[in-house]
Structure 1
Amino acid sequence: MSKPMIFCDFDGTITTHDNLIHIMKKFDPPGWTKIKDDILSEKISIQVGVRQMFSMLPSSLKNEIISYVIEEAQIREGFVEFVAYTKTHKIPLYIVSGGIDFFVRPLLEEYGPFDGIYCNEAEFSGENINIVFPNGCDHHCSSQGCGCCKPSIMREYLSEGTISIVIGDSITDIEAAKLADMVIARDLLIEKCEEYNLLYNPFENFHDVISILETHVGVKK
């Protein structure tokens, strides 16, 4: 019998907005919007762009940035029920995020534990913030600049008989979507799925996600 395994994005998927973009809008370092646009248009890699944007912010803002994100971030409707659903049915749930550890882990803490949380990391020891990428691309990845390489993480866990399910919303999820057996998408990821002729199921909240899983994977509440 096939076993479902879920790989879920964080920013803009579990949260209602992209925390990276909200940080940049709030602290507004000069030139960040062009870098963001270059990432979305795939002119530069996610890794290069994210590192460039954060390198424009001084490390002295650490506590202010963390407080801002934790105060402003909102968890998408139905996430609590979705996590409970995966636990009830023993469906492995991995959080794979292009976000940064200093806000991803605190925001997820009350909802776990999860089977794994993968994200980028921030260093505040220098004058400006430095982003490091502990979850890099394996030799199968065609991008080689993902930052947190979601398909590489997926390949660590997938085996014969596994149904891989990707839930996401943006450009950081497209390579994972190409590898997945099922894609549950919103926002820009829908556009990218259509661009690459990938089948997907649209969602707005995690109640929708549960319904999609019940319908297509056959695991009822």
Structure 2
Amino acid sequence: MSCFFPVAESPQNHQSLFYANDLSQYSVLCDFDGTISEKDVTDTLLNHFGNEKCALLEQQWQEGIIGSRECMHQQIANIQASKAELDSVLAQIKIDPAFSEFISFAQSRNLNVHIVSDGLDYAIQSILKRYNLNFLPVFANRLLHNQQQDWALDFPYANDRCLKASGNCKCQHRRKLTGFQKIFYVGDGTSDFCVADKVDMVFAKDKLIDFCQQQRIAYYPIKNFGDVTAILPELLKAPTENSCLIPA
């Protein structure tokens, strides 16, 4: 029987980052796959190293037969690759060119930034490290490896009451954020739906735009983090109650 071990660096204690202080009165939660990264990282790895069962599981998830946590758990178990092979694919995945500038802006304004992803912690850390951004706190599913060809997934941030049955319950992270004047969210897909109505403003791409329109959730449509950096200064000055729906 194979023994699996975490491949990501041990996470630092992020608990204090959830609380506002004299310098940090605003918080930004950011999705990763398709939001910070240009490609969906998990889909890219499955395309390279998965098998035909991965596509069947994806179909079952889209049809609502299984939740995203169960889907990813089984998909990752069907990957066959060495760590070196996995790393070679991760090395080709780029992030939004405007994200580094956004982080510089966030630091200059003492914004509290967290990455909350239903993706893979090691993959996110590996990609961010290439851009010297691996100091950012990452909350994601834990990727495990048996030091051969097999992979597994652990879910340290799962919530049995999660409406989306996600591996990483983003609403749970939102609830931990206390004392902030405003909380913003940047995302693009279905894993962002349940948290979208629990923040002061959403910066939305792709599927998240349609969802916000349908649910009449306050949002700004964006193409990249350059738009976030351009819009945020005014929102930091404006009272929360003046937030309004911005149609695409």
Asked if these proteins are the same fold (TM beyond 0.5), I'd say yes
Equivalence for 1:165: 184
The corresponding residue for 1:196 is 215
After TM superposition, list the pairs within 5 Å mapping 1:57-68 onto structure 2.
Answer: 57-58=79-80, 60-68=81-89
Post-superposition offset of 1:138: 7.0
| SS at structure 2 position matched to 1:31 | helix
- After superposition, the Cα gap between the structure-2 partners of 1:26 and 1:94, relative to the gap in structure 1 and judged at 3 Å, is same
Match of 2:153, as an amino acid? I
Q: Secondary structure at the match of 2:192?
A: helix
| Number of residue equivalences | 213
Deviation per residue, 1:141-194 (Å, 9 max, x gap): 434x211111101211233x5311110111111112121111111011112223
Distance change (3 Å), C-alpha of 1:5 and 1:42 = farther
- Does 2:228 match 1:209? yes
Contact 1:163–1:181 (CA<8 Å) still a contact in 2? yes
Q: Against the structure 1 CA distance between its residues 23 and 181, is the aligned structure 2 distance closer, same or farther, given a 3 Å change threshold?
A: same
Long gaps (5+) in structure 2:
1-21, 239-248
1:117 to 113, 135, 138: 138
Q: Is residue 121–residue 138 contact of structure 2 (8 Å, CA) maintained in 1?
A: no
Q: Which runs of 5+ in 1 are unaligned?
A: none
CA contact (8 A) 1:138 1:152 kept: no
Runs of 4+ in 1 over 4 A off after TM superposition: none
TM-score, normalised via structure 2 length: 0.78
1:66 CA drift (Å): 2.1
Q: Encode CA deviations 1:41-100: one digit per residue, 9 max, x unaligned.
A: 544211111111111113x43321222112x21110211110000000001000111111
For 2:152 and 2:221, locate their aligned partners in 1 and report how far apart those are by CA, in whole Å.
35
Give the TM-score normalised by structure 1. 0.87
The alpha-carbon deviation at position 204 of structure 1 amounts to 1.0
Select the residue among 125, 128, 133 that pairs with 1:108: 128
8 Å CA contact 1:40–1:171 kept in 2: the answer is no
Q: d(CA) in 2 for partners of 1:170 and 1:97?
A: 11
SS at match of 1:130: strand
Could you tell me how far apart the structure 2 residues matched to 1:75 and 1:19 are?
Answer: 11
Amino acid in structure 2 at the alignment position of 1:100: L
Q: Distance in 2 between matches of 1:81 and 1:46?
A: 32
Structure 2 Cα separation of the partners of residues 119 and 52 of structure 1? 17
Per-residue CA deviation, residues 10-63 of structure 1 (Å, 9 max, x unaligned), is 1111111101111112224113223224434544211111111111113x4332
CA distance in 2 between partners of 1:181 and 1:111 (Å) = 26
SS in 1 for 2:186: strand
Percentage identity across paired residues of the two chains: 25
Alpha-carbon distance, 1:112 to partner: 4.4
Match of 1:156 among 176, 191, 215: 176
1:51 maps to: 73
**2-structure distance, mates of 1:66, 1:112:** 16
- CA, structure 1 residues 67+40, in 2 after alignment: closer, same or farther (shift >3 Å)? same
- The one-letter code of the counterpart of 1:106 is S
TM-align CA RMSD: 2.3
